[in-house]
Amino acid sequence: MKKILVLNGPNLNMTGIRKKSVYGGETLKQINDELKLYGKAHGAKVSFFQSNHEGDIIDVIHESRDEFDGVVINAGAYTHYSYAIRDAIEAVQEFTPFVEVHMSDIHKREDFRKISVITDVCVKQICGYGKDSYKMGIDLLMEIL
């Protein structure tokens, strides 16, 4: 069974509370519970980490090299400007593939959200499919692992 980490960045703990029209009404826990079952049905043990703190996210990215076969990352707002997270992914990408996901279509939102500094160090960017973006990320990792 492949080990996949779903890594969520800042404010994603507010999913289901904040901007329901953009992110939907399910909480992050509800989404994670569904993803855990989805992963199991597709041969993956899915684990989860969420933080509002950049350094904690970087530490988990570094640790992913030894603990996970692949990572689905929704870096939240850090997507648009965190070169530190980008560099952390780049440091481990040859050992652990990353798929960037977003529930909303970042290319159809505010101008600053259209920029991703992590896309080029990830296998692919998947956005605009709500919680299914995560499932598509898991599927892609299972294909390439």
pLDDT computed for residue 55 by the predictor: 99
- Say how many residues make up the chain: 145
Domain definitions of the chain by residue range = 2-144
Residue from 7, 4, 20, 2 nearest 101 by CA: 7
- Indicate whether this model's pTM tops 0.85: yes
Residues ≥6 apart with Cβ < 8 Å to 39: 4, 45, 46, 138
pLDDT at position 18: 79
Q: pLDDT band for position 120 (50/70/90)?
A: very high
Confidence band (pLDDT; 50, 70, 90) for 52?
Answer: very high
SS3 label, residue 139? helix
78 carries an active-site annotation? no
Q: Considering only CA atoms, which of 96, 100, 106 is closest in space to residue 145?
A: 96
Structure tokens at 106: 């970042």
Please say whether the structural domain 2-144 has been given the CATH code 1.10.20.140.
Answer: no
Q: Measured between alpha carbons, how far is 62 from 82 in angstroms, rounded to an integer? A: 15
Kindly indicate the confidence band of residue 112, based on its pLDDT and cuts at 50, 70 and 90: confident
Asked whether the CA dihedral 48, 39, 124, 21 is positive or negative, the reply is negative
Which pLDDT band, with edges at 50, 70 and 90, does 104 fall under? very high
Distances (CA, A) of 132 to 61, 81, 87, 101, 136: 22, 25, 27, 10, 6
80 is catalytic: no
What count of other Cβ atoms lies within 10 Å of the Cβ of residue 41?
A: 8
Please tell me which residue in 38, 62, 102, 134 is annotated as part of the active site: 102
CA 128 to CA 22: how far, in whole Å?
A: 10
